[in-house]
A and B are shown apart, each in its own frame.
Chain A
Amino acid sequence: MARVRHDRASVSLDERLTTAYRSFRLTGMSVSASAVLDALGDANRRAILERLTGGPLAVGVLADRLPISRPAVSQHLRVLKEAGLVTESSVGTRRLYRIDSAGLAVVREYLDGFWGSALDNFARLAEAEAERKERPA
């Protein structure tokens, strides 16, 4: 039943995940989340990310597809890169930007925090339950 979602980019899923995991381990739990939030606080940067979900693109192509200048695109890409949301690579003389799967680290962080609070609640409920049963009826 389980279906693994396969990566459509040329880089293998394994490679992407290994990179994501390594980057997660390097950045640690709390470092990337605030940078990610800041980076995503801008509509143009979110628009850039959306364009990149279709595959890697060069700055010029991104600028053509968005109502912002090429220097502005470059500036946004720099912020996105620092937040670990995009990576760049060189193909010949061109620089291509792609989504960095370190975004997975954010999903993981989110769920880690989520289950942490669920289990804290559960422990409180369990303690109340234990006391309730110990009291004479």
Chain B
Amino acid sequence: MSAESGTEIMVHRQVSVPLTPQRAFTLFTARMTEFWPSEHSIGSSALAEVVVEPREGGRWFERGADGSECDWGRVAEWTPPGRVVLLWQIGADWKFDPDLETEVEVTFTEEPGGRTLLELRHRHLERYGDQAGAMYAVFDSPGGWDGTLAAFVALAA
């Protein structure tokens, strides 16, 4: 699942869907709320909506059930229907960190039969390097990483 070059550490995932690139792009960016794993939110209230503003420089944020907004990052590149790049600025402590920029690049490639291959690359995870300590501390907090990791470990076992 990985394709690192040099010291860049990234996650690479892909999925094929029965939609045209345009429809897949729209579904991914405009209806993120509907596929976002809802336990993953950084706000104080339950996740109500995930918003990607459809333009370069747009915000990427969550809106809580109480109407409060928490920034996740922003739109670095907006080139429908082929590509969108989002900056993910959530630190290892699961809080917005304006100094941290990791990159989520999503490409939509047409496949035979009216399908689209979506490829997601979450790049520059090496930028978490100096946050290792914060990450460990978060294992201690409810709603931190450990529940998800534990579930993941159970699946991987």
Contact = CB atoms under 8 A, between A and B. Distances in A.
A50 B137 contact: yes
B136 A103 contact: yes
B13 A122 contact: no
B133 A125 contact: no
Interface string B24-50: 100110010011110010000000000
B18 A127 contact: yes
Contact of A37 (B1, B15, B99, B150): B150
Nearest to B151: A113
Question: Per DSSP, are chain B's interface residues mostly helix, strand or loop, or mixed?
Answer: mixed
A113 B148 contact: yes
Question: Per DSSP, are chain A's interface residues mostly helix, strand or loop, or mixed?
Answer: helix
A5 B145 contact: no
B135 A107 contact: yes
B23 A129 contact: yes
A33 B17 contact: no
B35 A122 contact: yes
A99 B133 contact: yes
B40 A114 contact: yes
Interface of A: 1-8, 13-14, 16-18, 20-21, 29-30, 33-34, 36-37, 40, 43, 46, 49-50, 52-53, 85, 99, 101, 103-104, 106-127, 129-130
